[in-house]
């Protein structure tokens, strides 16, 4: 496994729409293992392949806390097949939008169809934080960041903060 570099906003590569995976191969599983290692190191609870510069429809998620047993989930070519009319609001953050958080409202429950780590087709229903996290990561596959769900004023303010931090780190 290898650590990968996480791309941060406003990098235009984060706006690329990810391509479907044709076949789950050993190379693809190595990529998912790298994604998981990168996500744990960051630390985060979800990562889409496009966030490391690979515009493929691949997501890894693990909601386990540091002191809990790891429970990784792998989603290849995920599609939401149903979303509840009930909504839930969570404070979201993103490894590609470091240290910035805000409330985002999404469907409270979803059902998704996807391929797993071994390429087997799955369909599952998710609620709570898993539903929110999967929707957040699926947005990445469409070139959407959580800040795109905010008002223009809030989004612009966050992008300015990111650019200010980037310029400060480049001077160091």
Instruction: Dump strand ranges (E) for 33-72.
Output: 46-48, 58-61
Q: Which region holds residue 67: left if phi is over 0, alpha if psi is between -120 and 50, else beta?
A: alpha
Whether 137 is a known active-site residue: answer: yes
* Structure-token pair, residue 171: 């001077």
Strands (E), the chain: 46-48, 58-61, 73-83, 87-94, 97-107, 109-115, 121-127
CA distance 107 to 124: 15
Q: Of the listed 66, 137, 142, 170, which one is catalytic?
A: 137
Phi/psi for 49 (5° steps) reads: -55, -35
Q: In angstroms, how far is CA 122 from the centroid of its own chain?
A: 19
> Of 30, 99, 84, whose CA–CA distance to 58 is shortest?
30
| Residues designated as active site | 137
């Amino acid at each position: 496994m290898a650590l990968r570099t996480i791309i941060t906003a406003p990098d235009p590569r984060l706006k690329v729409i990810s391509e479907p995976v044709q076949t789950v191969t050993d190379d693809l599983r190595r990529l998912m293992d790298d994604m998981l290692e990168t996500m744990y190191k960051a630390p985060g609870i979800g990562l889409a392949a496009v966030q490391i510069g690979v515009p493929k429809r691949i997501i890894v998620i693990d909601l386990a806390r540091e002191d809990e047993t790891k429970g990784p989930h792998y989603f290849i070519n995920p599609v939401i097949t149903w979303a509840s009319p009930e909504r839930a609001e969570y404070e979201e953050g993103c490894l590609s939008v470091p240290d910035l958080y805000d409330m985002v409202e999404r469907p409270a429950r979803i059902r998704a169809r996807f391929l797993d780590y071994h390429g087997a087709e799955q369909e599952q229903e998710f609620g709570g934080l898993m539903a929110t996290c999967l929707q957040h990561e699926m947005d990445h596959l469409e070139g959407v960041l959580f800040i795109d769900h905010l008002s223009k004023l809030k989004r612009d303010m966050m992008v300015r903060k990111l650019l200010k931090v980037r310029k400060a780190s480049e001077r160091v």
